[in-house]
Amino acid sequence: MSLDVKEKTEVRLVFMGAAGVGKTALIRRFLQDSFDPKHRRTVEELHSQEYEVAGVKVTIHIMDTSGSYSFPAMRKLSIKNSDAFALVYAIDDPESLEAVKSLREEILEVKEDKFTPIVVVGNKTDRRGERQVSTEDVLSTVELDWNNSFLEASAKENENVLEVFRELLQQANLPSRLSPALRQRRETFPKDNATRPPMNKTNSCSVS
């Protein structure tokens, strides 16, 4: 079965948002199924993951960007070279939502395309008691006003993390068959965190 001509076999996803909202934690949870509660400042890291789906190799590049705004040139380059964007805020930090709004405007300006694939992610749902950002308000703004996708997630509790990546890949027009492959990939992870190798900037694995 051949790939649809409209489907890509390589895609670059970029995670953007204010510092400390959990961008790295979401990526780590997806790639390694692990969680580190300590916040470490990220400048920019690229992770590459290769899958084999129905005999076709599909490569996903995941760019983890800095939450600092002191690298505007680097951020613009990340935007220009990426196919789909996860804009992450923390549900207990209203200012991080304002950062998402600014980043979305910058993305649309750089890409010059109002239909650029964007998924807004409200992370840290494990902090329900400290919530300061209303789900309903963000949902209304993102889906009705912006016409983008919205999900809430928790890297800590592994809630909706896979769905975030699935939505990004679907919007980036990767093969639909990749969706079950991702789940299968995740189910092959060992249960014991201690047996997992450290997170590398480049990873490769095959899933059939």
Q: Has residue 153 been placed in a domain? A: yes
**CATH number for the domain including 150?**
3.40.50.300
**Predicted pLDDT at 137:** 95
Residues 6+ apart with CB under 8 A from 129: none
Helix axes of 161-171 and 23-32: crossing angle, nearest 10 degrees:
90
Instruction: Please give the residue range of the domain that contains residue 58.
Output: 10-178
Long-range contacts of 182-187 (CB under 8 A, 24+ apart): 182/51, 185/51, 186/30, 186/33, 186/162
**Inter-residue contact 67 to 17 (CB < 8 Å):** yes
Q: Has residue 138 been placed in a domain? A: yes
Write out pLDDT tens, residues 123-182: 999 999 999 999 999 999 999 999 999 999 999 999 999 999 999 988 887 655 565 556
Number of structural domains found in the chain:
1
Q: Has residue 5 been placed in a domain? A: no
Q: Which residues of the chain have pLDDT under 50?
A: 1-5, 186-208
Scored b (16 or more CB within 10 A) or e, 27-50 reads: bbbbbbbbbeeeeeebeeeebebe
Task: Check residue 133 and report its DSSP letter.
Answer: S
| Angle made by CA atoms 165, 150, 54, in degrees to the nearest 5 | 25
Q: Has residue 3 been placed in a domain? A: no
Tokens of 44: 């920019």
Give the global pTM: 0.79
